[in-house]
Amino acid sequence: MSIRVADSADVDPGAEIGDGSAVWHLAQVRENARLGRNCIVGRGAYVGPGVVLGDNCKLQNHALVYEPAVLEDGVFVGPAVVFTNDHFPRAVSPEGALKRADDWEAVGVTCREGASIGARSVCVAPVTIGRWALVAAGAVVTRDVPDFALVAGVPAVRKAWVGKAGEPLEDAGGGLWVCPRTGEKYRENDETLMEVTE
């Protein structure tokens, strides 16, 4: 395997790019960013300083992932998604001086294994997107998303449960949910969902 970096991409020499990964046209990967194996950074995407991507992550075109975001293995970030990093954004201080990096504390978005973030959604840090959760296109996430939750809207709220295949689960009664594609079973308890391992 090898690493593919388009000629027009801007990858800082201090960034780490895992084997099999690709960084496409006009994308920027900043200093100390770490990309795992087999990642794809789409056209015009931005990966901030120190951002961490696990293996097999996909950042689609024009996704903006600001530091200190952390994406675990298998995370999908759709086109034009934005991960913010400032609680109280201002260009200047109360005195009118231009703010610098030391004038604020960056907060990050964490995406757990297998999570998917739909096109043009915004995740307002600090939030955690749970394992195998699905954020609908155009959603604005302002609070943590549970594992296996499908959230949508502004602000985003849970609309359904999804399995690892990404499809809405079917209610089998008694707190049991089933994936229509794979047959995998999940159990709901107190607004959380866990895989049934039998």
Could you read off the pLDDT of 5-14 as tens digits, one per residue?
A: 999 999 999 9
Residue range 29-55: average pLDDT?
98
Averaged pLDDT for residues 35-44: 98
The position carrying tokens 């952390």 is 70
Angle at 192 between CA 187 and CA 194, to 5 degrees: 40
Q: Would you state the pLDDT for residue 31? A: 98
pLDDT at 1: 74
Residue 154 pLDDT greater than 90, yes or no:
yes
Q: Does domain 4-162 match CATH 2.30.42.10? A: no
pLDDT of 198 strictly over 90? no
DSSP string, 127-184: EEEPTT-EEPTT-EE-S-B-TTEEEETTTTEEEEEB-TTSSBPEEEETTEEE-TTT--
This prediction has a pTM of 0.95
Confidence (pLDDT) at 101: 79
Render pLDDT for 89-126 as a digit per residue (tens, 0 to 9): 899 988 999 988 788 889 999 999 999 999 999 999 99
Percent of the chain with pLDDT over 70: 100
Report the candidate in 118, 13, 14, 126 with the shortest Cα–Cα distance to residue 69. Answer: 126
Residue 108 is predicted with a pLDDT of 95
**What was the pLDDT predicted at 171?**
96
Average pLDDT, the chain: 96
Where are the domains positioned within the chain? 4-162, 165-198
